[in-house]
Amino acid sequence: MRAKVVEWEHVVADDTAFHGDVLAGEAYAHAWGIHWFLLTKYRKKYIDYLELLGQKLPLQVDDAETRTDDFERVFGKPIGKLQEEFPAWLDSAARKQGIS
Alpha helices (H) in the chain, listed in sequence order: 8-13, 16-19, 21-41, 43-54, 64-75, 79-96
Task: Write the pLDDT tens digit of every residue in 4-34.
Answer: 668 999 999 998 888 877 788 888 999 999 9
Task: Write the pLDDT tens digit of every residue in 43-52.
Answer: 999 999 999 9
pTM for the model stands at: 0.86
Asked if residue 9 lies in contact with residue 60, where contact means CB atoms within 8 angstroms, the answer is: no
